[in-house]
């Protein structure tokens, strides 16, 4: 479980690290190299290849849709193809960020893995990166407040975001998700502090996981 203790000082350090990362890591291309994607899947397993082919079909369908329909299509696909399991069960680690192919090959993942798969699928379907943010939240579930991640879609920078979540099947505006309290959010361009008073974890640790994820995504064809 992510550790508590988000502070403004930590966020400043993360922002500095993100700026540093932008200069060190190669620019990530969000267009999916289909040949490389299928080649990577073939090396994993027959299941991975079948799932990878379905992902390509999803991207083709979604690309032809308007943005809101695209968001709904991708949300439904990922929720259907990944079954929730904790990282310790799937990967034998307390915290592991799986690439889209890793999640689809396993057919299992936790909240971060759902959000990651949706993020890259939407980018591959032509969604501008500026309209997507992965958001750490505190979620009220069964009378408890738990650390959780969702994906948010912003039609415009100041618009109310739509929330893509594995806890609820349909995509809903943020105002219809009073069970979620945002803490901080990020994408390939930056990091933002949310309005939550409690933390979903150490952003510096998340940044390290994000770097590792980007390297895996590039290897898979993104």
**Residue 158 DSSP class:** T
What per-residue confidence (pLDDT) applies to 15? 40
User: Contact, 220 vs 37, CB < 8 A?
Assistant: yes
Q: What distance in Å separates the CA atoms of residue 91 and residue 108, rounded to the nearest whole number? A: 10
Residue 128, pLDDT above cutoff 50: yes
What per-residue confidence (pLDDT) applies to 116? 97
Q: What distance in Å separates the CA atoms of residue 188 and residue 111, rounded to the nearest whole number? A: 18
The pLDDT tens digits of the residues spanning 165-206 come to: 999 999 999 999 999 999 888 887 777 765 433 344 555 566
Q: What distance in Å separates the CA atoms of residue 162 and residue 146, rounded to the nearest whole number? A: 21
**What is the value of pTM for the model shown?**
0.83
Beta bridge partners of 184: 136, 193
Spell out the domains of the chain, with CATH numbers in brackets.
Answer: 8-219 (3.10.620.30)
The pLDDT tens digits of the residues spanning 32-57 come to: 999 999 999 999 999 999 999 999 99
% residues pLDDT > 90 (the chain): 69
The band of 31, judged by pLDDT with boundaries at 50, 70 and 90, is confident
What per-residue confidence (pLDDT) applies to 209? 84
What per-residue confidence (pLDDT) applies to 138? 94
Q: What distance in Å separates the CA atoms of residue 4 and residue 200, rounded to the nearest whole number? A: 6
């Amino acid at each position: 479980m992510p550790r508590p203790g988000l502070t403004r000082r930590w966020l400043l350090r993360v922002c500095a690290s993100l700026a540093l990362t932008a200069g060190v890591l190669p620019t990530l291309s969000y267009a999916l190299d289909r040949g490389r994607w299928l080649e990577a899947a073939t090396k994993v397993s027959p299941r991975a290849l079948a799932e990878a082919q379905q992902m390509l079909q999803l991207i083709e369908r979604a690309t032809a849709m308007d943005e809101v329909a695209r968001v709904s299509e991708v949300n439904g696909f990922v929720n259907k193809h990944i079954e929730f399991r904790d990282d310790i069960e799937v990967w034998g680690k307390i915290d592991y960020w799986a690439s889209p192919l890793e999640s689809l090959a396993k057919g299992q993942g936790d909240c971060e893995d759902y959000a990651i798969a949706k993020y890259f699928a939407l980018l591959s379907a032509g969604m501008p990166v500026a309209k997507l943010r992965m958001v750490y939240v505190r979620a009220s579930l069964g009378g408890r407040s738990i650390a959780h991640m969702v994906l948010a879609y912003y039609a415009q920078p100041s618009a109310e975001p739509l929330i893509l979540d594995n806890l609820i099947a349909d995509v809903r505006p943020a105002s219809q998700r009073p069970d979620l309290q945002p803490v901080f959010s990020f994408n390939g361009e930056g990091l933002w502090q949310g309005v939550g008073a409690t933390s979903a974890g150490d952003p510096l640790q998340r940044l390290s996981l994000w770097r590792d994820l980007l390297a895996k995504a590039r290897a898979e064809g993104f």
